[in-house]
A and B are shown apart, each in its own frame.
Chain A
Amino acid sequence: MGYFLIRRTVGFVLTLLAVSVVVFAVMNVLPGDPALTILGLDATEDALDALREQLGLNQPLLTRYFLWIWNAVQGDFGISHSFRVPVSTLIGERLPMTISLAVAGMFFTLIIALTLGIGAAARHRKFGDWGVMLISQLGIAIPAFWLSILLVMLFAVKLRWLPPGGFAGWSDPVAAMRSLILPTISLALVQSAVLARVTRSSALEVMRQDFVRTARASGLSRRRVLWRHVLPNALVPIVTIVGMQFAALVTGTIVIENVFYLPGLGRLIFQSIANRDLPTVQALVMLFAAIVVTANFIVDLLYVVIDPRLKARA
Chain B
Amino acid sequence: MLELTDYSVNFSAGAALRQANLTIKPGDRLGIVGESGSGKTMLALSLMGMAPDGATLSGALCVDGIDMTQRNEIEWQNIRARRVAMIFQEPMAALNPLRRVGDTVMEPMRVHEGLSHDQAQARALSLFEEVGIPDPAARLRQFPHELSGGQRQRVLIALALACNPALLIADEPTTALDANVAVLITDLLVRLSQERQMALVFITHDIAAVARATQDIVVMYGGDMVEYGPTAEVLKTPHHPYTKGLLDALPDPSRTTHDANGKRRRLPTIPGTVPQLQDLPQGCRFAGRCPVEVPQCAAQKPATQSFAVNRSSACHLNEGAKR
Contacts and interface: CB of A to CB of B under 8 A. Distances in A.
- Interface size on B, as a range, is 20 to 34
A210 interface: yes
Given A214-B159, A232-B98, A309-B97, A219 B145 contact: no
A8 interface: no
Contacts of A232: 96, 98
B85 interface: yes
A205 interface: no
A308 B143 contact: yes
- Label chain B's interface by main secondary structure: mixed
B88 A214 contact: yes
A222 interface: yes
A5 to B, nearest CB: 20
Contacts of B78: 219
B81 interface: yes
A222 B80 CA distance: 13
Interface in A191-247: 209-211, 213-222, 224, 229, 232-233
Nearest to B73: A222
Contacts of B98: 232-233, 306-308
Interface string A272-314: 0000000000000000000000000000000000111100100
A216 B73 CA distance: 10
B93 A217 contact: no
Contacts, number: 76
A220 B106 CA distance: 12
A55 to B, nearest CB: 55
Contacts of B156: 214
B77 A215 contact: no
A13 B76 CA distance: 55
B97 A220 contact: no
Contacts of B189: none
Interface residues of A, number: 22
A95 B20 CA distance: 70
B50 A211 contact: no
B322 to A, nearest CB: 43
Contacts of A213: 50, 88, 94
A6 to B, nearest CB: 24
A216 B93 contact: no
Contacts of A210: 88, 90, 93-94
Contacts of A233: 96-98
Interface stretch (B107-115, B236-244, B248-256): B107-115
A213 to B, nearest CB: 7
Given A224-B111, A312-B145, A218 B159 contact: yes
A210 B94 CA distance: 5
B192 interface: no
Given A209-B93, A306-B98, A308-B143, 4 more contacts: A211-B93, A218-B85, A219-B163, A307-B98
17 contacts: A210-B88, A210-B90, A211-B95, A214-B95, A214-B96, A214-B156, A215-B96, A218-B85, A218-B107, A218-B162, A219-B76, A220-B77, A220-B107, A220-B108, A232-B98, A233-B97, A308-B145
Complex A-B, nearest 6 residue pairs according to Cβ-Cβ distance, in ascending order = A219-B80, A210-B93, A219-B81, A218-B108, A210-B94, A211-B96
Interface of B: 48, 50, 73-74, 76-82, 85-86, 88, 90, 93-98, 107-108, 111-112, 143, 145-146, 156, 159-160, 162-163
